[in-house]
Amino acid sequence: MWKIDLSDITEMQSTFDRLYEKNALLMSARPLPSMALHRIRKDLTIEWTYNSNSIEGNTLSLNETHLILQEGITVKGKSLREHFEVHNHEKAIEYLYEIVNENYTLRSIDILSLHGLVLRSIEDNFAGRIRNGGVRIVGANFVPPNANKVSQLLDELIDFVNENPLGLNDIVLSTIFHHRLVWIHPFFDGNGRTVRLAMNLLLMRKGFPPAIILKNDRKKYYEALNQANNGSYQKLALLMAQALERSLNIYLQALPCDEDDEYKEISSLVEEPRVPYGQEYISLLARQGKIDAYKEGRNWLTTRKAIEDYMKNRKRERVV
């Protein structure tokens, strides 16, 4: 087995517990109103498509991505490839929703099929086919394995995920799968988008919504992957958890909630008399995953209850 350092990840257990509690709450509230469910899924599909493509260099904005998918508009000044990348990613998401269920077992054919959809009409000669030559990744601290080893390494990774010999929770398991598939780099092109689709199969089969890595976190994302190449998964696991929590919160906001559970920008919360901390400190807690929070654009959102829960835990720690 490859080098896996999970020592830092054990410190994230409270974060994982919170995500599982939120997922249990979401599952207990199902079925959600069909109109709300349709709207959220449509919005997440657009966001997922925009962010994943943007990470790979697609220059279409979120609004332009929306217009292409919802209005069928062709954006002037943008390449045909960029338009195909948008439509293809949407089709790949539709395929993912079709195949995933609570009994889903990861299969190589599904990874190949997702890749085939991602590169359809862009690189048809390579779409859905494992690479047969060497590749290099600019800015990465590793060289992907020889093409002759790719099929075996992919099979070993799929067996690792399905057998889960380390007894990892679903979030950590999808994190390790995410990194390892990037490291194997099974295709000439389209690896990143395919990986970010495939890793969500492991989350969504457990009832989680998709985790969407944001374009604004692109630098942090690549740094986390480079750390994982050296065996440390803490940074990537934190990024995955934050992405997943954001999606969970979007779904949970469709449910009735108390005012204390309402997500607000940290800048507005610190103005309330019940919040004793400054904006910089609460933002640090959010970035470290120590409070219930999620990111919209460049702004962090959290709740009054999340801050009060953190304060209570601090008091308990002092007593102990």
In this structure, are 264 and 247 located in the same domain?
no
CATH number where 68 lies: 1.10.3290.10
Is residue 16 one of the residues assigned to a domain?
yes
Q: What is the pLDDT of residues 202-211, one digit of tens each?
A: 999 999 999 9
Min mean pLDDT across 15-29, 101-115, 275-289 is at 275-289
Structural domain including 118 reads: 9-252
- Tally of structural domains, the chain: 2
Is the pLDDT at 97 greater than 70? The verdict is yes
Q: What is the pLDDT of residues 171-193, one digit of tens each?
A: 999 999 999 999 999 999 999 99
Is residue 315 one of the residues assigned to a domain?
yes
In this structure, are 150 and 297 located in the same domain?
no
Is residue 4 one of the residues assigned to a domain?
no
Is the pLDDT at 316 greater than 80? The verdict is no
In this structure, are 99 and 166 located in the same domain?
yes
185 is catalytic: yes
Is residue 294 one of the residues assigned to a domain?
yes
Is residue 1 one of the residues assigned to a domain?
no
Question: Which of the residues 89, 115, 179, 185 is marked catalytic?
Answer: 185
**How far apart are the C-alpha atoms of 274 and 13, rounded to whole Å?**
27
Is residue 2 one of the residues assigned to a domain?
no
